[in-house]
Amino acid sequence: AALTRAIASVVERTREELSAEDRETLASFVDGLADRLAAAAACGLPQTLVHGDFHTGNLRGNGSTLVLLDWGDCGVGHPMLDEASFLHHLSPADADRVRAYWHGVWRAAVPGADPARASRLLAPAAAARQAVIYRGFLDQIEPSEWPYHEGDPASWLARAAALVRHESDLAD
């Protein structure tokens, strides 16, 4: 419920920066988000610590250790919510390999779970969650810093809308 409210809020706050098509798609998406999240939960993966900004820029290591930094956006949630940020900067081929590995690790850890289905269901929600994270970030930084991220909420929402439309295309 909290994620649904947060996504609905960022969609409303960002509506003027979105195309009419994206606004329409996102309105329908938000209306069905509770059902989508319930379907993802039924895929059998447990709630976990979700980083919220899980990408290579937040990793530091020396060959024998690896440290994940920047836990400011972490929370408890579905593990597939982190996919949006860690796949975002990868090439499509690399993203497919990383996704396959990630899903394999989860299938091994939770036999009977369906991480691939959960991933497909949550892809638009994970992108919209990134918009929420960036909106919260912008709300807390100095206006002089806004130019670096001011387009991020709209960009992530447009990505969420595109993913929803892609699902519809596949269903047709």
133: amino acid identity, one letter:
I
- Please give the torsion angle defined by the CA atoms of residues 63, 76, 148 and 152, in that order, rounded to the nearest 10 degrees: 120
28: amino acid identity, one letter:
S
Q: What are phi and psi of 95, to 5 degrees?
A: -60, -40
Confidence of residue 39 (pLDDT cuts 50, 70, 90): very high
Confidence of residue 41 (pLDDT cuts 50, 70, 90): very high
Residue 172 scores a pLDDT above 70: no
The angle at the Cα of 168, spanning 112 to 98, to the nearest 5 degrees, equals 45
Cα 87 from Cα 84, distance rounded (Å):
6
How many C-beta atoms surround the C-beta of residue 111 within 10 A? 7
Query: Which is more confident, 77 or 111?
Result: 111
- In order of 70, 129, 154, 166, 168, the CA distances from 106 in angstroms are 23, 21, 31, 25, 27
Query: Which is more confident, 171 or 18?
Result: 18
Cα 134 from Cα 6, distance rounded (Å):
12
Q: Tell me which H or E stretch contains 123.
A: helix 115-140
Q: What is the pLDDT of residue 33?
A: 97
How many C-beta atoms surround the C-beta of residue 39 within 10 A? 15
Mean pLDDT of 78-106: 92
Cα 160 from Cα 142, distance rounded (Å):
27
Classified as helix, coil or strand, 162 is helix
Q: Which two tokens stand for residue 64?
A: 């024998």
Confidence of residue 162 (pLDDT cuts 50, 70, 90): very high
Confidence of residue 53 (pLDDT cuts 50, 70, 90): confident
